[in-house]
Amino acid sequence: MTGGLGLTLRGVGHAFGALHVLDGIDLEIEPGRVTVLIGPSGCGKSTLLGIMGGLIAPTTGSVLQAGTPAADCLNPLTYVFQDFALLPWRSVAGNVALPLEAHLPAGPRAERVREVLALTGLSDFAEAWPRQLSGGMRQRVGIARALAVRPACLLMDEPLSALDAQTRALLLDEFADLIARAGTTTVYVTHNLSEAVRLGHAIVVLSRRPGRVREILRIDPEQDRADPALAAVEDQLWSLIRDDAAQAEREMAAR
């Protein structure tokens, strides 16, 4: 759908006051690939995504972007939020149209909205209010809104974590399909090992706070994600983060 954008992180660190969240992150986000960030609670995954998206200023280091977004890209670095971030006073179509309003006149804007609503299976809900939708449908709206701007890089912050298991499984398949078709660079934050293995071409494992890159696992983009062999990758991921996750849990309980 659009040209991919690559990101290079150099020595990225971040602190909230005295709380040191991220430290010395050096990372390459490859264009057109799905990079998954995974790690124990509080390791700074969402903060790192915010830094990549320009929403949080890093305390140290820098993020560089490489490549030129396609001509029709209206917002190169586009977020998908964990809590959907839909405007409750706008209909589904109104929410999807929001980021287009400064760029497209009414006719082409309506056409673009229709197109992405069809792509995400929301055509019948264009005039519905967000409160009338289930969690899964709301996140589809979030995805539709993100796709409407033809992003060069999708930044997805635990987009399925607020949903029930069944909806999560259904949406995960749709995400995988949409991302594969769009060919957009994607950075995907999750706690969920299955999601990481299902979607990721590169899985970046962060250590507990302050988060550092501990390991990067790579999965061949051509590999069938239903391949039972990938269970071994999931096991490997779990063995990498298990001790840190337990320690992070203890630290949170002690706070």
Binding site for other proteins (CB under 8 A): 53, 55, 75, 77-79, 81, 83, 85, 87-90, 98-99, 101-102, 129, 131, 145, 149
- Rounded to whole angstroms, how far apart are CA atoms 58 and 203? 22
Residue 86 Cβ, how far from other proteins at the closest point, in Å?
8
User: CB-wise, 79 or 175, nearer to other proteins?
Assistant: 79
User: CB-wise, 75 or 123, nearer to other proteins?
Assistant: 75
Instruction: Please state the φ and ψ torsions of residue 17, each to the nearest 5 degrees.
Output: 65, -120
User: CB-wise, 154 or 196, nearer to other proteins?
Assistant: 154
Residue 44 Cβ, how far from other proteins at the closest point, in Å?
17
Residue 216 Cβ, how far from other proteins at the closest point, in Å?
26
Residue 199 Cβ, how far from other proteins at the closest point, in Å?
21
Helix pair 106-119, 135-148: axis angle to 10 deg: 130
Q: What is the DSSP string of 198-241?
A: HH-SEEEEEPSSSB-EEEEEE--TTS-TT-TTHHHHHHHHHHHH
User: CB-wise, 129 or 183, nearer to other proteins?
Assistant: 129
Residue 57 Cβ, how far from other proteins at the closest point, in Å?
13
Residue 83 Cβ, how far from other proteins at the closest point, in Å?
6
**What is the rounded end-to-end Cα distance, in angstroms, of the chain?**
46
User: CB-wise, 97 or 193, nearer to other proteins?
Assistant: 97
Residue 74 Cβ, how far from other proteins at the closest point, in Å?
8
Q: Please, are residues 225 and 194 in contact by the beta-carbon 8 Å criterion?
A: no
- Rounded to whole angstroms, how far apart are CA atoms 112 and 97? 8
User: CB-wise, 103 or 242, nearer to other proteins?
Assistant: 103
User: CB-wise, 4 or 142, nearer to other proteins?
Assistant: 142
Q: Which amino acid is at 210?
A: P
List all residues 6 or more positions away from 2 whose beta carbon is below 8 Å from its beta carbon: 69, 70, 72, 73, 150, 151, 152, 182, 183, 184
Q: Helices marked H in 3-66 — which ranges?
A: 45-52
Q: Collapsing DSSP states into helix, strand and coil, what is residue 22?
A: strand
